[in-house]
Amino acid sequence: MNQTSTLRVRVRNIKDETSTIKRFTLESMDYSKLPPYSGGSHITTFLSLPSGTLERQYSLFNTTLEPGLFEIAVRLAEDSTGGSRFWHQNVQAGDALTVSFPKNYFPLSFQAKHHVFYAAGIGITPFLSMMAELAEKEHSFELHYAANSKEQCAFYEHLRTVYPDRCRFYFSNSEGTKRLSPKLLLDHRIGTHVYFCGPERMIEDFTNAAKSYGYPSFNIHWERFAPPVNREHKPFSVNLQRSGRQFEVPANTSLLDVLRKYGINVPYSCRVGGCGTCEVKVAEGEVFHYDSFLTEEQRCSKGIMLSCVSRGKGKLVLDL
């Protein structure tokens, strides 16, 4: 995310959706239209705090009838150390902010015959734009949405009005209503794609259930935001496993530059963590990944890093 160009926006409006969820309507600083986006997109917001810039990701939607606006919903997290508290307590209508262009890591399936969304709590947000897109294209979909109560159910009125026949609500604290259960997955027709968004546990339960019912992974989608990154540029050292050489990487120099300086011919192209060309194999040590190329799985596997932007913690051993 180093090279991303950004957009300047102004907060037009703030509305309480529930006691803990606020909706922010953002408009372009120069009153032009903000870029359009596909269903399931999100933006990264850059909040300037005294302690530094906080990057947070929020799903994008637009419940107003006016095109060219961004909306996000922010839930005040109890243990929030920054992002959601700042949004709730510091951001005012009229404030100027920096946000990224829309990006989509949670796109709709193209070949689905039917789309089913399972949301819990604030997990509803990516589905707002997805449903809007499907409704416009007249594709078939349904929503199953769980919240503590009607009062705690963000966008309840909006959803009931706009998609009256396609939404089922599940309130955990009221008597008599059904709980949201993975058993619902048993009843979807062939060609259905399912989408889950909510707490980690819910995503896991539904994903496991879908797989056990015989859903191909291809038909199962979920959204989990990447944990926030705080960029640290501290010096670290690298050992090269095969040649036994050892180098120091100063705070203001990239690993790629250090390796090349010592004649190790790591190929590269973009130098901003976007093309994947400068990958090196990591044998040991902890890596701070600052690229925008590797997938979550590739990062977790711990075997690789992009040497133009990513850094080691303390001491790294490379398979070179």
Partner 1 sequence: MNSMADLRAFPYPFGDSDVYRYSNNAIPLDPPNPIELTDSYFDEISLKRELLTKHPERCYHSAPHTLDAQWEVVDLIIDNLVTHYPDRFELEKKDDEWVFSNVQTNENITFTFGDSTSLKIEPLDFIGRHVQEDLLLMMQRDGNLFLDAGQLCFPANWSLYFDAGMSFKEIHSPIPGFKDQSLDDRILQFLMRIEAGSPWWRKNWSLLAGNRLDTSLETFADWGQARKRVTKENAGELVHLRVEVQKLFRLPKSNGILFTIHSHMLPLEKFVQHPPWLEKFYSILDELPDFIAGYKGISLYRKQVLEYLEEEMRKR
Partner 2 sequence: MIRKELSFSKGKRKFLFCADSTEEKSLHDFVHQAMEEGIQFDFHIVGEEPDSFLDMWFNQQKMGSYLYISGGWDFVNRVKKIALAAGFSHEEMQMKVTGPFKKKLICCTCHAGNPIEDEAYITCRNCGAELEASTHYSPRLEAYLGYVSI
The residue ranges that bind partner 1 (CB under 8 A) are: 3-7, 35-38, 41, 100-104, 107, 109-111, 218, 267, 269-272, 274-277, 292-293, 295
Count of residues for the chain? 320
In the bound complex, what is the minimum distance in angstroms from residue 194's beta carbon to ligand FES?
34
Q: Which does 287 bind (CB under 5 to 8 A by kind): ligand FES, partner 1, partner 2, none?
A: none
Question: Binding to ligand FES by residue 318, rule CB under 6 A?
Answer: no
Question: Binding to ligand FES by residue 278, rule CB under 6 A?
Answer: yes
**What are the Cα distances from residue 250, in Å, to 18, 61, 114, 280, 313?**
48, 42, 53, 18, 12
User: What gap in Å lies between CA 108 and CA 116, rounded to an integer?
Assistant: 11
DSSP state of 131: H
| Burial tier of 244 (Cβ tally within 10 Å: 0-12, 13-18, 19+) | exposed
Q: Which does 37 bind (CB under 5 to 8 A by kind): ligand FES, partner 1, partner 2, none?
A: partner 1
Question: Binding to ligand FES by residue 74, rule CB under 6 A?
Answer: no
Q: Which does 104 bind (CB under 5 to 8 A by kind): partner 2, ligand FES, partner 1, none?
A: partner 1
Pick between residue 38 and residue 177 the one whose CB is nearest to partner 1: 38
Residue 56 near residue 45, CB atoms below 8 Å: yes
In the bound complex, what is the minimum distance in angstroms from residue 272's beta carbon to ligand FES?
6
* Residue whose entry in the numeric block shows the structure tokens 């529930």: 18
Question: Binding to ligand FES by residue 270, rule CB under 6 A?
Answer: yes
Q: Which does 306 bind (CB under 5 to 8 A by kind): partner 1, ligand FES, partner 2, none?
A: ligand FES
Question: Binding to ligand FES by residue 269, rule CB under 6 A?
Answer: yes
Residue from 40, 102, 126, 273 binding ligand FES (CB under 6 A):
273
Residues in contact with partner 2 by CB under 8 A are 111-114, 185-192, 210-219
* Residue whose entry in the numeric block shows the structure tokens 């951001």: 91
User: What gap in Å lies between CA 26 and CA 292, rounded to an integer?
Assistant: 25
Q: Which does 308 bind (CB under 5 to 8 A by kind): partner 1, ligand FES, partner 2, none?
A: ligand FES
Span from 89-97, 187-195, 199-207, 275-283 in contact with ligand FES (CB under 6 A): 275-283
Residue 223: alpha-carbon gap to chain centroid: 7
Residue 14 near residue 24, CB atoms below 8 Å: yes
Span from 9-17, 28-36, 66-74, 274-282 in contact with ligand FES (CB under 6 A): 274-282
Amino acid at 79: D
* CA nearest to 230, candidates 306, 123, 311: 311
* Residue whose entry in the numeric block shows the structure tokens 């416009």: 136
In angstroms, how far apart are the furthest CA atoms of the chain? 71
b/e burial code for range 49-66 (CB count within 10 A of at least 16 → b) = eeeeebbbbbbbbbbeee
Question: Binding to ligand FES by residue 293, rule CB under 6 A?
Answer: yes
Instruction: Tell me which residues touch ligand FES (CB under 6 A).
Output: 268-271, 273-278, 291, 293, 306, 308
